[in-house]
Structure 1
C-alpha cells in the first residue's frame, strides 16, 4: 500500500473512533430531553448500561469473526450495524424501542473498538509508526469527548434529541467509504486455535443475568435477589468451565492473581462513579439549576480536558513514581470530585459542577494508564492479550452495572417521594429545561427537592465506591514485572 492510501485508511478508522467517543458524551447530554419526551425516568439507566454491556460482551467475539471473514469486512459490518441502530434510535417513539436500538449500537461499537487495533498492526509493521498512529487514536477520542457535550447540547436546543443519533449516519458512511477504497487487506493466516465458545456463552449469560438483577432493584427486591444469586452461581460455573478448557477465554491463572484483579476491581469502582457523574451532572444542571441542554453538556468539558492532561502527564510520572502511588494520586482526585457532589446542596452553583468534573477527569487520566501498563507487565507474555482485554471488560462493566443501579436508585427515590399533586411525569418534565417551564410554579420547590434527593443519593453511593477503591489500593501489592 502507498503512504497516501495508508493515511486515508487511518483517517477512516479514526473517524469511526471519533464517532464511538462522540456517542459516549453526546447521548448523556440528551438524556434529560429523552427522559422528558419519552416519560422514561424509570428506564433511564438502561440507555447507557445496555449499550455498554453490548460493547463489553462482544469485543472478543468480533475479533474471532475477523479471523474468519477478514478484519476489513468485519469492521464494516460493525459500523453498518452501529449506524442502522442509530437511525432506529433516532426514530424511537418509546423507551423500549430506544433501549433495543442502543443494545445493537453497543454490539456494533464492540467491533468498532477492537478491530481497528488489529488493522493498525497490519498497516504499520514498524512499532514506532504504529505508536504514533495509536497516539492519534487517543487524540481523536479525547477530542470527541470534548466536543460531544457541545454538539449534543446544540442539537437538542436547536433541533431535537433525535439528532444525537442521526448524526452518526453521515460520519459512519464517510468512514466506510474511505476504508473501502483505501485499505486492501492482505492474505489471512489460518488460525487453528480452538475458540472457547462455551466460556464465551457462559460469560455473556452471566453478565446479562447480573444486569437484569441490577435493574430489578427498582421494581422487585425479591426478583433482584434471585437473579443476583443465579448470577453468582453462573460465575462459579464459568470458573469451573474455564478450568477445564485448554484454550480458556479467561485462564484461571489470571483470575486467581489478586495483584492483577485488585486493579480491575479498582477500575470497576472508579468507573462506576465516573458514569454516575457523566449521566447525572447534566440532569443536575438542567433540572435543578434550570440551564439549557448546551450548558448541561458543558458540565463534561472540564473533565474531558483534564482527562487528556492527566493522561499525558502520567507518562512523565511513571518514570519517577511507583505505579501504585500514581494510582493513589488519581484516586484522591476522583475522591475530591465525589466529595464535592455528595456535599453539594440543592442550591450549589453551576461552577461547583465544573470543578467536580475537573477533579473527576484528572483523576481518571492519572489512574488508568499505570494500571493498564501494570496489567500487561505483571503477567506472562502469553497472557498479555487476555489480561488487557479483561481489564477493558472490567472498566466497561463498572459503567454498565452502576448505570443500571443508579437508574434504579433514582427511580426508587422518586417513587418514595411523589404523591398528591406531584407525579413522576412532572419529575420527567423537570429534567429538561424547556418542558420544565410548563410545570406549575407553586410545585417547583417540591419538585426540585425530590429530584435533588434522588441525584444526591446517587452521588453518595458513588462516593462509597471511590472510598472502597482507595482502601483496596492502599492494601494491595503491585504485580511483579515479568521478564520479556
Structure 2
C-alpha cells in the first residue's frame, strides 16, 4: 500500500474510533433524560453494562473472525452492526428494547475496538510508526470524549435523547466508505484455521452469567450467589477446555503469565472506577447541584483533556522511566480522583467534580499506554494479537461488571432509604434537572440526601478498587521484553 492509502485507511479507522468514544460519553450525558423519560432507574446500569458486555464477550472473538474472513470485512461488518443497532436504540419506546439495542451496539463495538489494532499492526510494521499511529488513536478518542458531553448535552436540551443514537449513522457510513476504497489486505488471513467454538460459547456463557449475578445483587442475594457459583464453574470449564485446544481462543500459556495478567487485573480495577465516575458524575451534577444536561456532561471535559495530556506525556516518559513507575504514577492520580469523590459532601461545588475528573483522566492516560505496550512486548511474537485483545477484554470487563454492580448498589441504597411520601419515581425525576422541577420543593432536600448517599457508596467502592490496583502494582514483577525476529 502507498503512503497515501495508508494515511486514508488510518483516517477511516480513526473515524470509527471517534464514533466509539463519542458513544461512550454522549450516552452517559443522556442517561438522566433516558431514566426520566422511560422511568428506568432500576435498569439504568444495564444501559451501560449490556453495551460493555457485548463489547467484552466479542472483543477476542472478532479477532479470530478476522483471521478467518479478513480483517477489513470483519471491521466493516462490526461497524454496520453498530450503526443499525444505533438506529434501533434511537427508536426504542421502552427500556427493554433500548437495552436490547445497546447489546447489539456493544457486539458491533467489540469489532470496532479490536480489529483496528490488528490492522495497524499490518499497515505499520515499524514499531515507532505504529506508536505514533496509536497516539492518534488516543487523540481521536479523547477528542470524541471532549466534544461528546457538549454534543450530548446540546442534543438532549435542544432535541431529545433519541438523537444521541441517530448521530452514529452518518459517522459510521463515512468510515465504511473511506476504508472500502483505501485499504487492501495483503497478508494471509488464515482462512483454513479452526474456530474454537466450544471455548467461545463457554466464555460468552461465563461472562453473561457473571453479569446477571452482578445485577441480581439489587434484588436477590440468593440468586446472585447461585449465578456467581455457576459463573465460576464455567470459568473453570473454560480453562480446562483451552488446555486441550490446539487452536485455543485464549492460550493457557498466556493465562499463566502473571507478570502480563497482573496488568490486566490492574486495568480491570481502575476501569471499574472510571466507569463509576463517567456514569454518575453527570447525574451528581444534575441531581444534587441542579445543573442542566449540558453542564452535567461537562463534568467529563477536564478528564478528557487530561487523558490526552497524560497519554502524550507518557510517550516521553517511556524513553527514560521504567513502565511500572509510570503506571504507578497513573494509579496514584486515579486514587486521588476516587479519594476526592469519597470526601465530597452533598454541598460540594461543581468545580470539585471537574478537579476529580481531571485526576481521573490524567491517571488513565498515564497508566494505559505503558501497560498496553508491555502486554505486547512481554509475550512471544505469535501471542501478540491474542494478548492485545485479551487486554482490551479485561479493560472492558472492568467497566462492564462494575457498571452493573454500581447500578445494583444505587438501587439497593436508594430503596433502603425510601419512605412515604418519597418514591422511586421521585428519585428518577431528580436525576434529570428538567423533570426535577416537577417535584415538590419541600421534598427536594430529602430526595437529594437519598441520592447523595447512593453516589457516596459507589465512590467508596471505587476507591477500594483503585487501592487494590495500587497494591498489585507495587508488588508485581514487570514482564520481560521478548526478543523479536
TM bucket (normalised to shorter chain) is: over 0.9
Deviation by residue 1:308-333 (Cα, 9 ceiling, x = unmatched): 11111112222222222221111111
Q: SS of 1:246's equivalent?
A: coil
**Structure 2 Cα separation of the partners of residues 15 and 189 of structure 1:** 24
Once the two structures are overlaid, the 10-residue window that deviates more, 249-258 or 78-87, is: 249-258
The match for 2:33 is 33
Q: Residue by residue, what CA displacement relative to the aligned partner does 1:82-140 show, whole Å, maximum 9, x if unpaired?
A: 11111111111111111100000011111222223344455556665555443322221
Deviates more, 1:179-188 or 1:196-205: 179-188
- Identify unmatched segments of 5+ residues in structure 1: none
Equivalent residue, structure 1, for 2:152: 152
Q: Helix, strand or coil for the counterpart of 2:438? A: coil
Alignment pair present for 1:349 and 2:354? no
TM-fit CA distance, 1:192: 3.4
> How far, CA to CA, are the matches of 2:164 and 2:372 in structure 1?
31
Task: Name the CA shift for 1:210/1:324 in 2 (closer, same or farther; >3 Å).
Answer: same
Task: State the secondary structure of the residue aligned to 1:477.
Answer: coil
| Alignment-derived partner of residue 195 in structure 2 | 195
Deviations 1:440-484 (A, max 9, x none): 111000110010011111001101111111111122222223333
Residue 96, structure 1, aligned to residue 96, structure 2? yes
Three-state SS of the structure 2 residue aligned to 1:480 is coil
Offset, 1:372: 1.8
Give the aligned CA root-mean-square deviation in angstroms. 1.8
> Shift of the alpha carbon at 1:379?
2.3
The alpha carbon displacement at 1:71 in A equals 3.0
Give the corresponding residue for 2:57.
57
Deviations 1:146-177 (A, max 9, x none): 11111111111111111100111111122223
Distance 2:54 2:339 in 1: 31
For 1:481 and 1:10, the matched residues in 2 are separated by 28
- Shift of the 137–327 alpha-carbon distance from structure 1 to 2, 3 Å rule, reads closer
- Partner of 2:333 in structure 1? 333
**Who is 1:19 aligned against?**
19
Q: Deviations over 1:340-386 (max 9, x none)?
A: 10111000000000000001111111112222222222223332222
1:316 aligns with 2:296: no
Contact 2:326 2:370 in 1 (8 A): yes
Aligned equivalents of 2:117, 2:322: Cα separation in 1: 28
TM superposition score normalised by structure 2: 0.95
Alpha-carbon offset, residue 190 of structure 1 = 4.3
Q: 1:315 to 1:12 in 2, by over 3 A?
A: closer
**Mean CA deviation greater in 214-223 or 309-318:** 309-318
Aligned mates of 1:320, 1:132 — CA distance in 2: 18
- 2:382 paired residue number: 382
Name 2:251's counterpart in structure 1. 251
Q: Distance in 2 between matches of 1:471 and 1:7?
A: 42
Matching residue of 1:279: 279
- Matched position secondary structure for 1:299: helix
CA distance in 2, matches of 1:131, 1:326: 17
Distance of aligned partners of 1:296 and 1:258 in 2 relative to their CA distance in 1, 3 Å threshold: same
The separation in 1 between residues aligned to 2:304 and 2:397, in whole angstroms, is 21
Q: Aligned pair count? A: 484
Change (3 A) 1:223 1:196: same
Distance 2:3 2:363 in 1: 38
Residue 269, structure 1, aligned to residue 269, structure 2: yes
Q: Secondary structure in 1 aligned to 2:160?
A: coil
Counterparts of 2:68 and 2:87 in 1: how far apart (Å)? 28
Determine helix, strand or coil for the equivalent of 1:199.
helix
Rounded to whole Å, the distance in 2 between the matches of 1:69 and 1:187 is: 12
- C-alpha spacing 1:163/1:400, structure 2 compared with 1 (3 Å): same
Alignment check: 8 A CA contact 2:69 2:189 kept: no
Of 235-244 and 111-120, more deviation after overlay is shown by: 111-120
Distance 1:22 1:184, change over 3 A: same
- How far 1:306 moved relative to its partner? 0.7
1:163 has 2:163 as partner: yes
> Residue 139 of structure 1 corresponds to which residue in structure 2?
139
Distance 1:451 1:190, change over 3 A: closer
Give the CA deviation at 1:431. Answer: 0.3
- Say which SS state the counterpart of residue 92 (structure 2) adopts: coil
Taking the aligned partners of 2:153 and 2:310, their CA distance within structure 1 comes to: 25
1:171-320 paired onto structure 2 within 5 Å: 171-186=171-186, 188=188, 190-320=190-320
Could you say what secondary structure the match of 1:201 adopts? helix
**Larger CA deviation: 109-118 vs 281-290:** 109-118
Q: Contact between 2:289 and 2:350, CA under 8 Å: does it hold in 1?
A: yes
Unaligned runs of 5+ in 2: none
Task: Tell me how far apart the structure 1 counterparts of residues 131 and 375 of structure 2 sit (CA, whole Å).
Answer: 19
Instruction: Name the SS for the 1:22 alignment partner.
Output: helix
Determine if contact 2:306/2:365 at 8 Å carries over to the other structure: yes
Moved more, 466-475 or 187-196: 187-196
What CA deviation, in whole Å up to 9, does each residue of 1:202-247 have, x standing for no partner? 1111111100000000011100000001111111111111111122
> In structure 2, what is the equivalent of residue 461 of structure 1?
461
SS at match of 2:210: helix
Distance (whole Å) between structure 1 residues aligned to residue 236 and residue 36 of structure 2 = 41
